[in-house]
Each structure stands twice: as structure tokens, then as C-alpha cells.
Amino acid sequence: QSVLTQPPSVSAAPGQRVTISCSGSSSNIGKNYVSWYQQFPGTGPKLLIYENDGRPSGIPDRFSGSKSGTSATLGITGLQTGDEADYYCGTWDSSLSAWVFGGGTKLTVL
């Protein structure tokens, strides 16, 4: 069982908006920055969002991140079939002295 809780799956139609939640605690999300990763089958993850809401160079502004208290959210607008992937949140847990990830969310674009 993961320290960070994500919904196992979300789905939406092309062009629509979807959000993926990531719930933690005061020792992880409540205290540290959250990052988000996108992973396609058979490939390594790719950084999508850093420091809660920062976008690395090359990541389209359709992807956004936010954090409030002990939860974080990844938002994707203008959904495309190419966005179908697994999405993971991650952060440092100050109590565990360990990096923790959410269990991952599979995005289906119907």
C-alpha cells in the first residue's frame, strides 16, 4: 500500500479536462514539494510537474499542478489520445526519510 493515495484510474473524452488527485499527510505533501510523472508502457517515467506547479521545458501548458494542505492535483486539459498513460505523484517524506510515490493512476481517453 502506497504512502500517497491516487485513484487507480480516471477517464474522459478527447478535448475534455481531467484531474488526478494525490493524497498524503503532514510529513510528506504537507511539508514538501510534489512532483508528477508520466509513464507509457515499456518506458521510463518522465517528469511532468515539479515543485507542485512548475512545468519543465517542453511540457505543454495543458498540464498543470497544484497543492493544498496534504493533497495535490494534476490537471490535464484538451485531452488527447496520446495522453493515455500512467501518472504518478511523488514527494519526500520527512518522517520516513524516504522518497514516496503514489500507486499510480491509469488515464484512459475514451
| Contact residues: another protein, CB under 8 A | 2, 32-33, 35, 37, 39, 43-47, 50-51, 56, 86, 88, 90-92, 96-104
42 vs 82 by CB, closer to another protein: 42
Least Å distance, CB 34 to another protein, is 8
Instruction: Pick between residue 62 and residue 106 the one whose CB is nearest to another protein.
Output: 106
Q: Which CB atom, from 76 or from 100, has the smaller least distance to another protein?
A: 100
Contacts made by residues 46-52, CB under 8 angstroms, sequence distance 24+: 48/74, 48/87, 49/74
Please state whether beta strands 86-93 and 105-109 pair in parallel, antiparallel, or not at all (unpaired). antiparallel
Q: Name the 3-class secondary structure at 68.
A: strand
Least separation in angstroms between residue 80's CB and another protein is: 22
- Tell how far CA 49 is from the center of its chain: 8
Name the CA dihedral angle for 32, 106, 2, 51, rounded to a multiple of 10 degrees. -10
Q: Rounded to the nearest whole angstrom, what is the least distance from the CB of residue 54 to another protein in the complex?
A: 8
